[in-house]
Structure 1
């Protein structure tokens, strides 16, 4: 007798080498995205780790250089945060005109429970010189770039103020277990409020510097370029734009002619979500959705729901837009930029009611 196994969904593959995979969006309805469905974003092949990976040197503009042992970090006072990681290129496929790069749709975002020690705690043990301006986070993963000669480690820097933020973590756990290798084991950076490129995986070392870092993943990638043919107006990608998503019903669903629940999530890198509005007539009339927020976790996604009293059979365009406490509202059209970062236009689906 054959045993029928339950069907399990898969990550949505965008590229295999390096591995880039999206979360199936129905898992975003969970407060915590299951680890096996957490999206994957890589610039290079996975690194080969040695014993060196269990030590974290802190160098540069500090008073006392220290090499932290992995086990010592585990014994330090820790902090847990629920927050989403969103790839800066999430929803890149929706830009018009189209842009080059990984054609992410909706699933380059996942929310996890992260545990670790703060960067500020480590730097308080080394001491900072008055000249400290930025903290450089170098990873073990490395590879070649098509536009430059040589081999580069994935490396990013944070302004000293953001590095010392009370919730910027050196994390060692995801969802209650050691961070899986594919997500940065043994140690990775977690930067709340910023897009995921800042949360460096497979940490190799920290270097405090007295100048602005100019690595390719800081000075070339992860910048907004408003024009296709020049670099005028170039600005760095940092805080997550206010955004939302409709998770139920799915786009192009066929629904019954009765009351329907429209639900989704909203998130922002500035403050908190204060409002989500829903339109069922293509944007003519807007109605407030009910928000469900965990006030103990201010960085976490907001779940929202709207009860739609379907007036009649027919085809409908449903739109959701969010607003945050800094007054930022989702635009009808995302700010176009040639590398395709920060897409956050209002979320739109079409349904038919029969």
Structure 2
């Protein structure tokens, strides 16, 4: 907490800057910019006038440039979308894995305004051979295991790239994107982990083969075996997940009535229900759900009022169920790089 009694971001690293949202204290549907988590692989790029031009290269290697002012004049879409780092909750894996030890705050949500990517590509030649679209950010630096300086680059399969809700965004919560969150434009890819939502977007290229950059085929891959890379597959769709926001883990509560509350989200369908247990999973009770009315992608808020009459220790669990039938598992899907943690959310409390 700062001296005004307001929460702060939790610093995971300074260079590059990686900071966690105070998720347990976020009650708004739209995360205020100052509380939006920060995830970077490299130092922030130094931006100049050239960054206001977006280069588009079609399947015939023809280039064209779109200026921010052109983008602002196009028809726009506004979507409330949560962005979750693929490493969110990595600190909970057992055995431990290397990487930023995110707890539950590498997720934030807000209102993104931009131009559907497919509208930007209307004048672009999409050949029959086109397979993927590659997105390059202005951030670059040295990456372990690669030679020289590399930019942050990712690709999307054609179907996902051309979905009407995949946006080239230039506003967050009705304000221009901040420099720390991708100014002047960034990609927004709903339902996928946020590594796909490339910041400081400067180049879009249509290719007729699989892209194999280091942030595509090395990082952001599930490696399920501890001692080898067999069985690997890419990180894409958000897992069904929930977080208990209140009470905080290892809180001491007075006996009486308390509100248990949190958020839940998914990358497939919608959250159908959230179940809460006060006896370490022996019995479950459905929570009350509250939805944001303006988005198919928004997280839901859930809550349950519980009377704690007996003195003692309690383990509170939450698990979300989505409309595609996915349920949060008791144990996470362990993988070498610690992606996609979505085991049931758990807090311990003592009632005195």
Q: TM-score under structure 2 normalisation?
A: 0.97
Please state whether the residue corresponding to 1:8 is helix, strand or coil: coil
For residues 1-354 of structure 1, the aligned pairs below 5 Å read 6-61=4-59, 65-354=63-352
Contact 2:133/2:205 (<8 A) preserved:
yes
- Tell me by how many angstroms 1:300 deviates: 0.3
The SS at the match of 1:121 is helix
Q: CA deviation at 1:240?
A: 0.5
3-state SS of paired residue (2:120): helix
Unaligned runs of 5+ in 1: none
User: How big is each residue's C-alpha offset from its partner over 1:263-306, in whole Å with a ceiling of 9 and x where there is no partner?
Assistant: 10000001100010000111111000011112431100010011
Separation of aligned partners in 2, 1:29 and 1:234: 37
Cα 1:306–1:118 shift into 2, 3 Å: same
Give the 4+ runs in structure 1 shifted more than 2 A.
4-9, 26-29, 62-66
Contact between 2:58 and 2:124, CA under 8 Å: does it hold in 1?
no
1:225 and 1:63, CA in 2 relative to 1: closer, same or farther beyond 3 A? closer
Paired residues in the alignment total: 351
Structure 1 pair 87–5 and aligned structure 2 pair: CA distance change class (3 A): closer
Does the 8 Å CA contact 2:21/2:106 hold for their aligned counterparts? yes
Relative to structure 1, the CA distance from residue 296 to residue 5 in structure 2 (aligned partners, 3 Å threshold; closer, same or farther) is: closer
CA contact (8 A) 1:79 1:118 kept: yes
SS state at 1:298 partner: coil
Q: Tell me the distance in 2 between the aligned counterparts of 1:7 and 1:39.
A: 19
RMSD: 1.4
Partner secondary structure for residue 273 of structure 2: strand
Hey, what's the Cα distance between the residues in 1 that align with 2:55 and 2:315? 54
Is contact 1:273-1:322 (8 Å) kept?
A: yes
Q: Give the whole-Å Cα distance in 2 for the aligned partners of 1:216 and 1:139.
A: 14
- Residues 146 and 295 of structure 1: is their aligned pair in 2 closer, same or farther, counting only changes over 3 Å? same
- With structure 1 as the length reference, what TM-score do the two structures score? 0.97
Shift of 1:125: 2.4
Looking at structure 1, the residues matched to 3 and 217 of structure 2 have their Cα atoms a distance apart, in angstroms, of 49
Deviation string 1:132-178 (CA, Å, 9 cap, x unpaired) is 11000001100011212111000000000000011000000011100
Alpha-carbon shift at residue 49 of structure 1 (Å): 1.3
Q: Secondary structure, in 3 states, of the residue corresponding to 2:91?
A: helix
Structure 2: 5+ residue runs without aligned partners?
none
In 2, the alpha carbon distance for the partners of 1:171 and 1:104 equals 26
CA drift of 1:127 comes to 3.4
Deviations, residues 35-54 of structure 1 (Å, cap 9, x unaligned): 01100000000111121100
> Is contact 2:133–2:204 with CA below 8 Å preserved after alignment?
yes
